[in-house]
Amino acid sequence: MRPVIGIIGNAYELNDRYPVHAGGTMNSQAVAEVAGAMPLLIPADPRFVSVPELMAVCDGFLLTGGQPNVHPSEYGEAETPAHGRFDRARDAITLPLVRDCVAAGQPIFGICRGFQELNVALGGTLHPEIRELPGRMNHRMPPDAPLAEQFALRHAVHLVEGGVFHRLLRATEVMTNTLHGQGICKPAPRVIVEGRTDDGTPEAVRVEGAAGFALAVQWHPEWNAAEDPVSRALFGAFGAAAAGWAAAKRAPGGAKSG
C-alpha 181/C-alpha 132 separation (Å) is 10
How far is C-alpha 173 from the geometric centre of its chain's CA atoms? 20
- Which residue from 128, 133, 100 is spatially nearest to 214, judged by alpha carbons? 100
Task: Report pTM.
Answer: 0.92
Domains of the chain: 4-250 (3.40.50.880)
101 has catalytic annotation: no
Q: What's residue 182's pLDDT?
A: 82
208 has catalytic annotation: no
Q: Which residues of the chain have pLDDT under 70?
A: 82, 131-143, 145, 180, 254-258
State whether residue 91 is helix, strand or coil: helix
For 241, counting Cβ atoms within 10 Å of its Cβ (0-12 exposed, 13-18 middle, 19+ buried), the class is: buried
Residue 113, CA distances (Å) to 11, 56, 109, 173, 219 in order: 14, 24, 11, 22, 10
Q: How many other C-beta atoms can be found within 10 angstroms of the C-beta atom of residue 118?
A: 30
71, 83, 112, 180: which is the annotated catalytic residue?
112
132 has catalytic annotation: no
Q: What's residue 147's pLDDT?
A: 75
Q: What's residue 253's pLDDT?
A: 73
Q: What's residue 258's pLDDT?
A: 44
Question: Sign of torsion, CA 117 120 124 130?
Answer: positive
Give yes or no for a contact between 139 and 181, defined as CB atoms under 8 angstroms apart.
yes
Total residues found in the chain within this entry: 258
